[in-house]
Amino acid sequence: MRAFWEIFCTVVDNYGDAGVTWRLARQLVAEHGQRVRLWVDDLAALARLCPEADVDAARQWRAGVEICRWPAHWQPVEPADVVIEAFACRLPETHVAAMADRRRRVLWLNLEYLSAEDWVGGCHGLPSLQPGGLQKFFFFPGFTTDTGGLLRERGLIERRRAFQADAAARADFLQSVGVQACPGERLISLFAYENAALSSWLEAMASEGRPTLLLVPEGRILDDLRRWLAVPALAVGDGQRRGALRVQVLPFVRQEAYDRLLWCCDFNAVRGEDSFLRAQWAGRPLLWHIYPQADGAHRDKLEAFLSLYLEGLSPAAAGALQELWRAWNAGAAMGPAWSALADQWPELRAHAERWCARQAARPDLAAALVQFYADWL
């Protein structure tokens, strides 16, 4: 069944919101034959992920998706069959009124942030009565069967495994972003918010016996990295060496290229929601810098995910990874936890692949949304 979908996205202060909604919109079009209009209030953020996007266009089509600038002064349009407000952004009041007046009823969904907290499953799919007789349903992505699943394109895991098994393909990709890895180097990617814990982690890697190449896409962590390196500036292409650690700054790349960067690495430090999930699909050990919240609610979200992810690990491996994640998100010393992790590397790598396979065995988020609409009809 082909339906018309609208997705509304407000970019807060990072690329995660735009990243998730852009992936979802493309997948609904490419895999489910849906018509999708994506409303974004900051096209410059979207253009970092989709360089072909025209930041000055009020309306354009990319990858089969109609992309519209969400204007400060809303101009009325006919609502779609399905209207998604991503991450509790507030729809224009006149659009909500038009949804209520539409002859054919509208499915209104609030697509929530990804969380592993226990209460999510009980709230997933629940309706909330709105003015005008509308109902808004809460749709929660998640890691358990009582949630809406995770964003994952068809064939993603198979493509990733084939890429990781092809040394020439990996070398060609790295060369395309200016990277020449040396034999025996461990590759680590770093994409994070500002973090006081970075210097202690860099010191630990620099003093190890094993050489490490740290690949750092442009982002908010660069200033912390520059201070530790004691250099006046860092730009794309810059490289520095300190002891066993070699550091290279990479350009901010489109989503498909970032996936491949994660696939090339032995360990991935990621942030927010979009890169966090993509690192899990990479099937490699990871470190998550969760988006910090003023009320400290992010700590509960971090612990909730760890309680799921650590299942099946030995006490030593689970303890080492847990302490590393806690230190990173508290801005605390990373050295002891990083050293403890080194002894658990083979187990952590096998566990990351098992976790990926278990999550990939479930229906993906886009398919779950399409099925939810079919059932609602």
Q: Which residues are catalytic?
A: 17, 273
**Cβ–Cβ contacts within 10 Å for residue 237, how many?**
11
| Strands 127-129 and 59-62, bridge-based pairing | unpaired
368 vs 371: CA distance, rounded Å: 5
Tokens linked to 250: 């990479």
79 vs 105: CA distance, rounded Å: 10
102 vs 5: CA distance, rounded Å: 15
User: E strands, the chain, where?
Assistant: 4-9, 35-40, 59-62, 65-69, 82-86, 107-111, 127-129, 135-139, 186-190, 212-217, 239-242, 245-250, 267-271, 286-289
229 vs 204: CA distance, rounded Å: 14
Amino acid at 86: A
Tokens linked to 108: 């209104």
